[in-house]
Amino acid sequence: MVLKRIAAYIVKVAHAISIVMMILLSVTLFVGVLSRYIFSYSIPELEVIRKFSLMWLVFIGSALAVKEKMHLEIDILSDYISKKINRIRLMVVFALSLFGIGILIFIGIAAFEAGLNRTELVPIRGLSSQPTLIYYYSAFLVGSLLMLYFHLMNSRELFTRNEVKKK
């Protein structure tokens, strides 16, 4: 029961982050176009906000797509093969997806470490020193970990269906 509440909370937070990032991306794009073409003035900080919101939107959105099973599903053959072979196919797809997510996590860890050592190139007014790029690159790691979590949560259905049928 507690795990279901935690899972529901994680999903709500991921949805909220993706909604906020979509709004932030839309507003910064609108303001950037307005300021550039109407007032002939460019705001460099908007580029930083756009990149930030786009990175987080892509990786949190990808995690939510994994949760909803909207990634890597090819079911053309599933209508023509037996249930046993289809189950094997699903397990192979699960293993390959798990392997891909594992690669993303390792790359996310490397990106996180790289983000600690690199600084923002766009000058940000009001800051005495340039921030590190950790706020960009952490999206990669967080999104990949969420993909892993949602993929494992979906796998419970894959492995428990047959046990229920046997009873």
> pLDDT tens digits, residue range 92-122?
888 988 999 999 999 999 989 988 888 877 7
> pLDDT tens digits, residue range 66-82?
988 887 666 777 777 88
How many domains does the chain contain in total?
1
Distance CA 54, CA 51 (A): 5
Task: Quote the domain boundaries for residue 31.
Answer: 2-166
Report the SS3 class of residue 132. strand
Full 3-state SS string of 59-85: HHHHHHHHHCCCCCCCCCHHHCCCHHH
